[in-house]
Structure 1
């Protein structure tokens, strides 16, 4: 059995490895690419796992998927294979338990765990899982996220609208970058990731303001809008609460886009509604259905703002019916 070296960007899977060698293969690859650990599978199929590692300037991102298993970094492993980093692990599928010296965290899909790799831990996955991981060198974390480091593992989920919006935005950034769809260069994306992690960690570690750092505020606001367009109650005030700023400050954030927060929400709703109206697969939906789905108070209001924005009515946006579907059938 040969174990591949870990280049700046790499992908491996245990499926191509003999079942008897999968655990050794996985542990050796992770020792080179990410962190030293021990792994115990709990499936009759053995360990079925894959990992993609991508370098993001000084950070390393990992997209990891697998069946039920446990990974552990024991005190002995910490001494034998030192790793001076803070990991931000965002579970995107499945569930997990995270044991550490101070207790146990129950982790659900959508939650993020922040922990120091110099401390021992056990991460258990009782079912199929997937996670996005950010490897942040401890010095970088202290300089850009929280000077106090992470003394105890921290769990972030939906405790507040602001926290949920930050985690959701971080997930979008990491998903796009690990899938090769990321926009922008590595340095600017790294700054965004560190801003988002800082916005989550700093209030708990250093007691700083929970407001996100400036480079990520607009991204968080847009992410929150995208996930709440269907809610007719969505407004600038709700977005400001999610970002953790005042409505006046939110307007300053959106000034770079040339539109107000309220106008941005309206334009996003109109764009999504028009996209659905022009989709032949949505032909069964009425204009009123589409208006309701994208948060408009009434069909009349939707028709008026749609015409003002696009220059034609919602009905005009619908694709012409298929001539073949209108042709009468011949009777045999």
Structure 2
């Protein structure tokens, strides 16, 4: 399902005079993402693109460019404060992240989490592409981990489980940027925060069980990807993530609903979203029900009315 992305800004240095590209890039990032200084060592100058997308309380940035260096010096941190935790996924190229305590080398597929209040230098010696999640500190502390991020944390290499979690986060972010994520921004934001919490909490002293957090995030991601399948069930989800149905119920205890109820709620939410869109008026109610895994229109109408207090037909906007 294609999603219309809430794009905040989209820029490229391609059409900017080479002599002005650095100033242009620094000014754009100061306004759209974070204050920084930039240097380019490419003969043709800085060639870079950036798309900033809203994701609930978060901001997602897709950035690509040739070889260059960005830096937040102590003076920049003071003059242009930014109180966020950045989670950066390197999708292409390599990078070196310098910080007060040393440096971290990144390869394609690596994930790094760091505090924008602390000075850093991020260098890219070859063409690169990254997906960056900007999480306000207040949101990170409340929903991911309360501890201080005193130094950058490289994620995804610690174990096979951590690697699977990082891969799941990569899939969610890449699908959202491509407009192909089969859920709304609220659900996608929750999934992203679930996965970041799962990855970060064990490193920052979080109290939640890493195993349960990991399994819940993976189960939710599997459900989102298979909502249209009428055969999706608690048993199918349990089998997919390698646990028993009883253990799956324990995994979902923090959500306050059973796995089967969670599946139903997700399907109803998606169907209601489609029904409310004027562009979907050509679809019959039966077709909408089928698209989101309901076996019959009668069952769909019954559970829809029970959940929302109105019928699917009453949810549709009036024709003009």
Q: Same fold (TM over 0.5)?
A: yes
Local SS of the residue matching 2:198: helix
Moved more, 174-183 or 146-155: 174-183
Cα gap change, 1:250 to 1:80, in 2 (>3 Å): same
Contact 1:169/1:219 (8 A) holds in 2: no
The unaligned stretches of length 5 or more in structure 1 are 1-6, 224-235, 259-332
What's the offset of the Cα at 1:257?
Answer: 7.0
Distance 1:54 1:130, change over 3 A: same
The alignment status of 1:86 with 2:85, answered yes or no, reads yes
Distance across 2 between alignment mates of 1:238 and 1:186: 25
1:180 deviates by 1.9
1:31 CA displacement: 0.4
Matches within 5 A, 1:250-329: 250=248, 256=259
User: Are the equivalent residues in 2 in contact too, given 1:217–1:253 (CA < 8 A)?
Assistant: no
Structure 2 counterpart of 1:249: 247
Structure 2: runs of 5 or more not aligned: 1-5, 225-237, 253-257, 262-320
- Following superposition, the deviation at residue 152 of structure 1 comes to 1.3
How many residues align? The count is 238
TM-score, normalising length from structure 1? 0.66
Match of 1:134 in 2: 133
Which residue number in structure 1 is paired with residue 176 of structure 2? 177
Q: Aligned partners of 2:163 and 2:249: how far apart in 1?
A: 21
Partner of 1:295: none
Q: Is the 8 A contact 2:26 2:35 kept in 1?
A: yes
| Cα RMSD, aligned residues only | 2.8
Cα 1:143–1:214 shift into 2, 3 Å: farther
**TM-score between both structures, scaled by the size of structure 2:** 0.68
CA distance in 2, matches of 1:134, 1:246: 33
- Residue 47 of structure 2 aligns with which residue? 48
Instruction: Name the larger-Rg structure.
Output: 1
Q: Which residue of 2 aligns with 1:18?
A: 17
The DSSP-based 3-state class of the residue aligned with 1:122 is strand
Q: Could you tell me which residue of structure 1 aligns to residue 269 of structure 2?
A: none
SS in 1 for 2:146: coil
Residue 191 in structure 1 maps to residue 190 in structure 2 = yes
In structure 2, the CA distance between the partners of 1:46 and 1:146, relative to structure 1 (3 Å rule), is: same
Show structure 1 runs of 4+ deviating over 3 A.
Answer: 219-223, 236-240, 245-248, 250-258
